[in-house]
Structure 1
Amino acid sequence: MDLDGSNRSVFNRLGGPSAAPTDSSKHQKVCYHWRAGKCTRFPCPFLHRELPHPSGPAASAANGSGHPKRFADDSGFSGPAPRRGPNFNNNHNKSWGRMGANKVVRKTEKVCNYWVQGNCNYGDKCRFLHSWSLGEGFTMLNHLDGHQKVVTGIALPAGMDKLYTGSKDETVRAWDTNSGQCMGVINLGGEVGCMISEGPWLFVGIPNVVKAWNTQTNQELSLSGPVGQVYTMVVGNDLLFAGTQDGTILAWKFNAITNSFEPAASLKGHTLAVVSLVVGANRLYSGSMDHSIKLWSLETLQCLQTLTEHTNVVMSLLCWEQFLLSCSLDQTIKVWMATENGLLEVTYTHNDEHGLLNLRGMHDSESKPVLLCACNDNSVKLYDLPSFSERGKTFAKQEIRTIEVGPGGLFFTGDGTGFRVWKWAEPIAKP
């Protein structure tokens, strides 16, 4: 892997919002004139935001060894990276869509465009947000730039102290996770459509090929076969799957004797590009621009069911416990559950006002499951599961096309200006 060295800013420079003023002297009611954009009272006796800040930090319980859980096999989630699948035959009920108490609900706040440009004259009196996030319990550590176009992939190979990002600017960048410095740039000659890691291997999808690097031995391979852009990849049952622009899902198997990946299968059925893949419950699930989701047996590689409830591109898929979650440009997240005959049906639909691009799952500092959902309004919404109570938002200047979860409560969001590093707050020890 040939890298051209360069330097960037560090991870551990804090970049979170400043502490908010107290609401103890204000009525717990939102100012009508502020909502209309014409409040002239200063100080105003009413709130100039939709909800008061929570009074005091939330208590949190210890988690096993005392460290936050990583988004891994025992987390209950199964995302685009290879994870142990949930049991879809367990008809366990969840209270989907029920709002929890004292939660942050949908907000009307918007990042101030003048603040972004560094010239807002209203300061604390501005009715728009002067922060890259909204909500409690997490903070932005830093924003790392260097890519010239949108970041489409983030990967953290096992056992490495490096994070890799891929972009439509046709490069992959390697970052030192301790210092945040960019350690080098790989020029690929094609737009990066996706990126995943499995063990020491880093897989990068570009037009007409999948690039594979062993980050421990520096071995480089090119897996041919894709027609057009490779939009999504996942590993399951010792196979690497890639969803391509022509609607085909290609599979390769690693041959330890030859130390190479050999073609294993070609799954056909989608009529347009395959843009999302996930593995769970011994199944491969694929989402496509043809608005459908297909279920494939990992043993026979035969299509078992086609789901057609979405009305636009199925952008992302995620498994959580015994459920399949899908998001689409049709502005919905659908929750699927297996019936007695083993077929999936929609058990809940969450409606949004924006098209939805990406789903990831993790646990907060109290080990509660949280859904991260990128929207095409340049934001990521954080939801409690299964209630879909909104915990908060993160914002960016441009569309966020990729989210990745790391160890120690870290998560990463990539957009057209680089990627941001976020972290859940450490649990507060009980007295």
Structure 2
Amino acid sequence: MDVDGGGNKRVFHRLSSGGGGGPPSTDTRSQKVCYHWRAGKCDRFPCPYLHRELHPPPPPNGTTASSSSSSSTKRHHHGFSGDDPVPRRSNNSTWGRVHGGAGGNNKFVRKTEKPCHFWLQGNCGYGDKCKYLHGWTSGEGLSLLTQLDGHQKVVSGIALPSGSDKLYTGSKDETVRVWDCQSGQCTAMINLGGEVGCMISEGPWIFVGITNMVKAWNIQTNMELSLSGPVGQVYALVVGNDFLFAGTQDGSILTWQFNAATNCFEPVTSLTGHSLAVVSLVVGANRLYSGSMDYSIKCLQTLTDHSAVVMSVLCWDQFLLSCSLDKTIKVWVATQTGNLEVTYTHNEDHGVLALCGMHDLEGKPILLCACNDNSVRLYDLPSFAERGKVFSKQEVRAIQMGPGSLFFTGDGTGQVRVWSMLAEPTSTA
């Protein structure tokens, strides 16, 4: 408590001596750091709270954080073999292993930075001495190029058609906005009358999933089509082998094929099996993979290693990557029997919302992971060594890679941001 008996006792503790010249108090349980002093604008004298930072309490029993977590850290830095139903430690797996030269540069460091709350409001009094970030990025070579404002709700889809100078974004505010890539200005806004659940581009086509429908636009011919059949919100879209797949709220996956003779998309089939909504789809190695709110992934088999909603699935080389609200990213590999098994599990401190893969300017593969703490983490593959972070005011639900070193994010406030990632800094030592 702040007051023990007399109303001025906490002031006595802060000043370390009272009117009678008594010794300073050793009871720090009643001391608090002044909220306004931290913001650089306290005008009270005497102030009943501390105008300095408190020292952190010593660890119990003389232990240190590094010693108490050493075993889990060691497990985190090694890959696992997918040859057995129960993953085992394997020196042959490169997942989760950081490869570097001499000099100790291959140590994995988990970043803990986050933007300063007061800096976000424009009134941090610490300046350069603030222990929190006064910026939107953490790590070398990452920079925010521009911010596109206009959407009023969470951005749920971003599409950049190949060869186009326009960026398309969809939102829960029931609109699609078209942005000029040169000026950054919004050149058009399309009202859909329903929340955008997802958006993709394929060739000249833009596909948008809304409630009970998929909208299709051909940006070259200005043709507009409405594909009916979905029940509820369309959460995921993907194109593979000339088929369009849509994951829906009722757990089914609808399929269309474009007929050039009739100049329209014709329904082919409906895939069933999930008991809840399908929220992620990807095509790889002539297979369709689906992630669902029922915690499972389906392809030719049902994968049930996640313990929460499977938010995103991604194919990389011969591997399948999946992320979930269970705070894990799992790497799957096919065994000799053809079945997929987990070969490595990467743990996060928060639920993972979306995955996206790209390459840096040196051609190195990078995994982008949007997490529930309003950040997007960048990892080198296959080591999962952290490359950096970008931050937003709310969670990022949409990530899209762009040309060169560019990528785009859309967050819960409706903001779309354009980021640049340079090549990994190389040591000259």
**For this structure pair, what is the TM-score category when the shorter chain's length is used for normalisation?**
0.7 to 0.9
Offset at residue 268 of structure 1 (A):
0.2
- In structure 2, what is the equivalent of residue 42 of structure 1? none
SS in 2 for 1:115: helix
Q: 1:422 aligns with which of 411, 415, 419?
A: 419
Aligned match of 1:327 in 323, 327, 338?
323
Relative to 1, partners in 2 of residues 1:124 and 1:169: Cα closer, same or farther, differing over 3 Å? same
Task: From 338, 361, 366, give the equivalent of 1:365.
Answer: 361
In structure 2, the CA distance between the partners of 1:210 and 1:387, relative to structure 1 (3 Å rule), is same
| Structure 2: distance between partners of 1:309 and 1:292 | 7
Which blocks of at least 5 consecutive residues in structure 2 are unaligned?
1-51, 56-91
2:351 is aligned with 1:347: no
Distance 1:185 1:399 in 2: 23
1:158 CA drift (Å): 2.1
Inter-partner Cα distance in structure 1 for 2:178 and 2:316: 30
Q: 3-state SS of the aligned residue for 2:119? A: helix
Report whether the alignment pairs 1:113 with 2:114.
no
1:247-396 equivalences in 2 (<5 Å): 247-295=251-299, 304-396=300-392
Report the alpha carbon displacement of residue 384 of structure 1 after superposing the two structures with TM: 0.7
Higher relative contact order (CA 8 A, sep 6+): 1
| Deviation, structure 1 residue 160 | 1.1
> Would you say the 8 A contact 1:148–1:416 is kept in 2?
no
Number of aligned positions between the proteins: 336
Which residue identity does 1:420 align to in structure 2? R
2:139 aligned residue: 135
> How far apart are 1:288 and its partner, in Å?
0.2
Q: Distance in 1 between matches of 2:298 and 2:425?
A: 44
Equivalent residues in 2 for 1:194-205, closer than 5 Å: 194-205=198-209
Which one-letter code corresponds to 1:153 in the other structure?
G
What are the within-5 Å matches in structure 2 for residues 9-408 of structure 1?
38=54, 94-101=93-100, 102=105, 105-295=109-299, 304-408=300-404
From the superposition, tell whether residues 104 and 420 of structure 1 become closer, same or farther in structure 2 (CA, over 3 Å): farther
Q: Structure 1 length as normaliser, TM-score?
A: 0.75
Query: 1:304-356, CA deviations, whole angstroms, 9 ceiling, x for partnerless residues?
Result: 20000000000001111110000000000000000001110000001111000
Give the superposition deviation at 1:106. Answer: 1.1
Deviation at 1:155, TM superposition (A): 0.2
- The aligned counterpart of 1:298 is none
- CA shift digits 1:245-273 (9 cap, x unpaired): 00000000000011000101100000000
Q: Radius of gyration: which is bigger? A: 2
Write 1 or 2 for the structure with the bigger share of helix.
2
Equivalent-residue separation in structure 2 for 1:334 and 1:380 (angstroms): 17
Mapped to 1, the partners of 2:411 and 2:113 lie a distance apart of: 20
Residue 99 of structure 1 and its aligned partner are, at CA, apart by 3.0
Report deviation, 1:179.
1.1
The residue aligned with 2:74 is: none
| 2:293 partner amino acid | M
Q: Distance in 2 between matches of 1:190 and 1:233?
A: 16
Q: Quick check: 2:252–2:271 contact (8 Å CA) kept in 1? A: yes
Distance 1:287 1:427, change over 3 A: closer
In 2, Cα distance between equivalents of 1:328 and 1:256: 38
Residue identity over aligned pairs, in percent, reads 73
State the Cα distance separating 1:104 from its structure 2 match: 6.3
Distance 2:260 2:180 in 1: 30
Distance 2:167 2:388 in 1: 26
